[in-house]
C-alpha cells in the first residue's frame, strides 16, 4: 500500500544528506501546508524549498532558499493578491532546547532549531519560512487597487431623508 501523495518525501534524512553534501528540494501547494490556511493563505500557491545539507562543528546545518508565490487577501480591496516569496536562510539542527540556547549564544550565523536530523519535516520548514516571509498585511502594489479601495472607504453622501418636507404643502392645501 502506498503512502498518500501529501506524505511522499515530506520527511527527509538530513543527516545522510549532510554526510554526502546533498541538496534536498521540495515543491508544495498551500493545501499541503495546513498552518498557512490559518494565516489566511489559500491556493493557488507554488512554493519551492531547497536546502543544502552540511556539517558545522558536528551539527547538521541547512543553507536554504524559499521561492515561489502564495495567494492572500488584499486588505484594501479584499480581492486575492499574489505574494512573491524569495528568502534565504541558514539553520542548524539541535537536539533540544538547552542545545538551542547554547548554540544561539555562539552566534555562528546559523539560526538553531530543535529538530531530528534523521526525520526532518520539509513541510514544517516550508510553513515556518513562508510565515516569516509573507507580509502581515497583504496589499496589491498597483494604484488601481488603492483607488478602488478609497472609493469604497469614502461613503457617498446619503440622500437626506426628510419625512416632513411636504407637510407645509399639505397644510396649506396645495
Q: Tens digits of per-residue pLDDT, 124-152?
A: 999 999 999 988 888 888 767 754 545 44
Query: Residues 6 or more apart from 128 whose CB is under 8 A from it?
Result: none
DSSP symbols for 43-84: EEEEEEEEEEEEEETTEEEEEEEEEEEEEEE-TTT-SEEEEE
Q: List Cβ neighbours of 62 (8 Å cut-off, separation of 6 or more).
A: 14, 51, 52, 53, 89, 90, 91, 92, 93, 125
Average pLDDT, the chain: 82
Cβ(73)–Cβ(80) below 8 Å: yes
Helices then strands, counting H and E runs in the chain, come out as: 6, 7
Neighbours of 164 (CB within 10 A): 7
| Distance from C-alpha of 34 to C-alpha of 15, rounded to nearest angstrom | 26
Confidence (pTM): 0.73
Contacts with 66 (C-beta within 8 Å, 6 or more apart), sequence order: 47, 48, 49, 85, 86, 87, 88, 89, 126, 129, 130, 133
Q: How far apart are CA 135 and CA 9, in angstroms?
A: 28
| pLDDT at residue 40 tops 90 | no
Tell me the pLDDT tens digit for each residue of 60-105: 999 999 999 999 988 888 899 999 999 999 999 999 898 898 888 8
Task: Answer whether 168's CB lies under 8 Å from 100's CB.
Answer: no
- The band of 4, judged by pLDDT with boundaries at 50, 70 and 90, is very low
Does the structure show a pLDDT above 90 at 113? yes
Reported as a pLDDT band with limits 50, 70 and 90, residue 3 is: very low
Report the share of the chain in percent with pLDDT over 90: 48
Is residue 12 classed exposed, middle or buried when 0-12, 13-18 and 19+ CB atoms within 10 A define those classes? buried
Amino acid at each position: 500500500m502506498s503512502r498518500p501523495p501529501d506524505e511522499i518525501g515530506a520527511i527527509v534524512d538530513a543527516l545522510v544528506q549532510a554526510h554526502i553534501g546533498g541538496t534536498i528540494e521540495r515543491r508544495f501547494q498551500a493545501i499541503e501546508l495546513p498552518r498557512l490556511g490559518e494565516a489566511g493563505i489559500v491556493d493557488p500557491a507554488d512554493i519551492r524549498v531547497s536546502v543544502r545539507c552540511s556539517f558545522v562543528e558536528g551539527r547538521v546545518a541547512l543553507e536554504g532558499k524559499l521561492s515561489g508565490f502564495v495567494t492572500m487577501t488584499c486588505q484594501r480591496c479584499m480581492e486575492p493578491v499574489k505574494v512573491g516569496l524569495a528568502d534565504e536562510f541558514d539553520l542548524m539542527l539541535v537536539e533540544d532546547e538547552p542545545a538551542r540556547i547554547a548554540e544561539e549564544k555562539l552566534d555562528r550565523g546559523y539560526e538553531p532549531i530543535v529538530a531530528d536530523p534523521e526525520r526532518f519535516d520539509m513541510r514544517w520548514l516550508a510553513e515556518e519560512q513562508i510565515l516569516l516571509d509573507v507580509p502581515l498585511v497583504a496589499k496589491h502594489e498597483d494604484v488601481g487597487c488603492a483607488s478602488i479601495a478609497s472609493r469604497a472607504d469614502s461613503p457617498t453622501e446619503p440622500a437626506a431623508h426628510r419625512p416632513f418636507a411636504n407637510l407645509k404643502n399639505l397644510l396649506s392645501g396645495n
